[in-house]
Amino acid sequence: MQNKIKIIFLGDIVGSSGRKALKILLPQLLKIYQGDFIIANAENAAGGYGLTESIAEELFSYGLDILTSGNHIWKKEFFPYLQKTERVLRPANYGEGAPGKGWTIYTKNNIKLGVINLEGRIFMKALENPLLIGIKLVEKISKETPFIIVDFHAEATSEKLALGYFLDGLVSAIIGTHTHVQTSDEGILPKGTAYITDVGMCGAVESILGMKIDQVVEMYINMVPRKLEVEKNGKLKIEGVFLEIKEDGKANLIEKFRLIT
């Protein structure tokens, strides 16, 4: 049996503002919370869309252990790195031939941590069923470690809650990502799994999900698809949750946080 562990999970890092926010605010966060593991969703870390090898390495240099992702990870130039790394995940419920891995068991200081990345299907792509793929992976990983964190990258709150209750008691935490708006429903489900519908984001405070406000507003006025740029001005924030997991893999504590420059 392994010891109690502490985990910090950070919401989507949006572009250079998200990376800058981490560089400035992560040292402050680590004075409040000590994490044995730090996980972040990084699907938007490169220019607000996708990830690159050098940006992944930059994020690891700040002390992040595992990067999860979602629907925005599929940049062709990133496929070779996604294929070889164990530390960047893409959602597990894409086709078998999709590059990269949807789950990992990461060992640090003799503690094994299972991380699973799943993507929702409501208002998103018609992927494999995240609940059914999720439970199969949980059965496999739980043979090796009781500590399992799930990043559920999904739009619909009901789908996120459904996965939460479906895997309650079988995993340590289910952390929602993708909407970039932190919800206030963090808590421990009846059978011991920590849960939050959405963990939030890291990036510009005065923005729409990290992007320039006027561009997103214009898009919603005209409904014509357009290029959106990362907001680089103003205050920056990091949002996420701190988790304490007991020896048996059940959650002891989930606390959400938001730090602003």
Catalytic residues: 72
- Token look-up 């793929």 returns 133
Task: Tell me: does residue 239 bind Fe ion (CB under 5 A).
Answer: no
Q: Which is nearer to Fe ion, 44 or 207 (CB)?
A: 44
Task: Tell me: does residue 121 bind Fe ion (CB under 5 A).
Answer: no
User: Looking at residue 45, what DSSP letter applies?
Assistant: T
* Among 77, 118, 83, 119, residue whose Cα is nearest residue 98: 83
CA angle (148 as vertex; 22, 78 as ends), nearest 5: 50
Which region, judged by CB under 5 A, interacts with Fe ion, from 89-97, 105-113, 158-166, 172-180?
172-180
Q: Which is nearer to Fe ion, 29 or 201 (CB)?
A: 201
The site that binds Fe ion (CB under 5 A) totals a number of residues, namely 6
Contacts of 251 (CB under 8 A, 6+ apart): 172, 173, 188, 192, 193, 194, 243, 244, 245
Task: Tell me: does residue 178 bind Fe ion (CB under 5 A).
Answer: yes
Q: Which is nearer to Fe ion, 128 or 198 (CB)?
A: 198
Please list the residues that pair with 175 across neighbouring strands: 151, 196
Residues 4-23 close enough to bind Fe ion by CB under 5 A: 12
Shortest distance in whole angstroms from residue 127 CB to Fe ion: 13
Q: Which is nearer to Fe ion, 12 or 159 (CB)?
A: 12
Shortest distance in whole angstroms from residue 19 CB to Fe ion: 14
Q: Which of 15, 35, 50, 70 binds Fe ion (CB under 5 A)?
A: 70
Cα gap 190→201, rounded to integer Å: 27
* Among 34, 95, 19, residue whose Cα is nearest residue 242: 34
Query: Under the rule (CB under 5 A), what is the footprint of Fe ion?
Result: 12, 43-44, 70-71, 178
